[in-house]
Structure 1
Amino acid sequence: MTKPLILILLLAPFFSYAEWSTHRFSLGLGYTYHDTTIQVGKKSLGALILSTEDTLGLDDTQSSIRLNYEWRFSQNKRHSITTGWYSQHRSGRRILDQDIKYFDKNNNEVVISAGTSVETILNFDIVRLAYSYAFFLDDRINISTGIGFYIMPLEFGIGETGTTKTESDFIAPLPTLQLKSEVKITPEWTLSNEFNIFYIQIGDYTGSVIATSLFVDYQFYKSFSIGLGFEAFKLKVDMSESSDVFDAEVGGELNFGNNSLIARMRYEL
């Protein structure tokens, strides 16, 4: 298996490559595995860590549509702007198999007993805009760095069935640092990866996100290509004690992570 790849890499400089495209449209379908935990209650009063999948009934797998567009707007193709969007909305209902204990805003202990029906929602969207500059660019390799913004509407709520507590926030543009590379292994095959890191603030919430991806694409007909890739996304949010979950003062953490297998089709011109 390794010999053909080595041969391709050795012969790659002798292939004839097309110029980098000006416009690139991408439509993807991602299959995602979720792993989310939430801390309920003050740490000083004995907080409780809940798994939104195992304890609260949210699906741990989900499929979603992803849209992206890239425009290389300079004559030398070193400058580009990228936009993208995808959403992951989940809701679930679970009959608790264990008691949930927390303290309300008046420091009174509240118990949701095992056997109680609980509803949960967790809706998360990402809208992205980024600028990048290719500091190394030839007909085969494109390595760039950039800055950008994320806008992330978030809606979260859990509670007894019929009394779900919901917190909604529309997040202002958040600064992003980006590093990405794209290598044309042959005129038809392309390998690309991307790394993003940024700081997030959602009302009383603060935290950080790390996102990385790796794709292989094959140009099967003129300007059309298909690809397969992997993406990892990790969000950690620290919540102030004024944030409400179960009408409790949280003062804890939300850890939201997902790993996605993504199939996509691209059109370039």
Structure 2
Amino acid sequence: MKLKLFTGVAIVLAWSGGAVPWAWAESDPARAVPWETFSVTLGGMLSKTDSVFRVGSGLGVDVDFEKTLGLETKTTVFRAESGWRFTENRRHRLDASWFALHRDGSRTLGFQFDVEKPDGSITTISTGTEISSHLDVDIYELAYSYSFVQDDRLDLAVVGGLYVMPVDFGFSASGVTVAEGGLTFSAPLPVIGYRMDFAMTPKWFFRSGTQIFYVDYNGFVGSLSDIRAAFEYQATKNLGLGLGFDNFRVNFEGNGSGLPGSDLDGTIAFENRGLQFYAKYIF
């Protein structure tokens, strides 16, 4: 619903902007099209996160980090990005990005459940136990995109990228580690998708994009999706300000040895969504 609203507003503004004389060359003769050569973006995200995990692929139950273990639900996430159009026609572009989602929490357990530890042993967590937990995720991406449609209003590109995403999670009861784990990919995860930049007026832009990943290999099943949409205002020649919506979702299940570079034995899934705000320095 939120993405549909963003798209609808973009169309209305684009239509109204059509009444304004369109003259990129007149407003800035040095820039015949509105697509920057290089940019650095710094921003944050007021996000809501839902996450579930299970240690061990046999016995044990899925544990909700937020409801069961008291992990923070709403957080502010820092994000950094850069983009470089490295050819004269500005159709070829490289992007690099990073954002971190580090959370912890504590709670008195309201029910009893069993956890299968990595060595196969079963640990019972009793009702009333004091639980401390953490979930730390760092997400790095390097992407290449090619603009197969590009003019002074629209830049539409196909995207191919690589994600590296170390995940560390665990919880302890009464100071004794009960379950801990990690998900580390030494080999990057490939993603495909699209990117669209639409110049509604010489100063207002609508930017959106989607990237997806899926693999089912030797006992490891994983999926990833990143959906983004934002309005951006170019306040000055070198400064843009943006506000948008982002939804990032992952779901991984492994047996400890299914995918090279992954040691996950169990399941981990999380969704991070919320309002994104940023400042962009344009070269």
Settle same-fold status: TM greater than 0.5: yes
Amino acid at match of 1:258: N
1:50 to 47, 63, 66: 63
Amino acid at match of 2:233: Y
Q: TM-score, normalised by structure 2?
A: 0.82
Q: Please give the alpha-carbon distance, in whole angstroms, between the structure 2 residues aligned to 1:107 and 1:176.
A: 33
Q: TM-score, normalised by structure 1?
A: 0.86
Please tell me whether residue 15 in structure 1 is matched to residue 22 in structure 2. Answer: yes
Partner residue, 1:257 = 271
Q: Please give the alpha-carbon distance, in whole angstroms, between the structure 1 residues aligned to 2:175 and 2:247.
A: 34
Identity percentage of aligned residues: 30
Please tell me whether residue 229 in structure 1 is matched to residue 272 in structure 2. Answer: no
Q: Is the 8 Å Cα contact of residues 118 and 158 (structure 1) preserved in structure 2?
A: yes
Residue deviations 1:164-222 (CA, integer Å, cap 9, x gap): 34323432222111201000000010001010012469x98541101110010011122
Partner residue, 1:69 = 82
Question: What does 1:1-269 align with in structure 2 at a 5 Å threshold?
Answer: 5=13, 7-11=15-19, 14-17=21-24, 18=31, 19=33, 20-40=35-55, 45=59, 47-102=60-115, 110-164=123-177, 165-171=179-185, 172-199=187-214, 206-240=221-255, 252-269=266-283
RMSD: 2.9
Q: Please give the alpha-carbon distance, in whole angstroms, between the structure 1 residues aligned to 2:106 and 2:219.
A: 27
Q: Is the 8 Å Cα contact of residues 77 and 101 (structure 2) preserved in structure 1?
A: yes
Q: Is the 8 Å Cα contact of residues 46 and 75 (structure 2) preserved in structure 1?
A: yes
Change (3 A) 1:143 1:105: closer
Change (3 A) 1:126 1:107: closer
Change (3 A) 1:127 1:241: closer
In the alignment, structure 2 segments of 5+ residues that lack a partner are 1-7, 25-30, 259-263
In the alignment, structure 1 segments of 5+ residues that lack a partner are 244-249
Partner residue, 1:247 = none
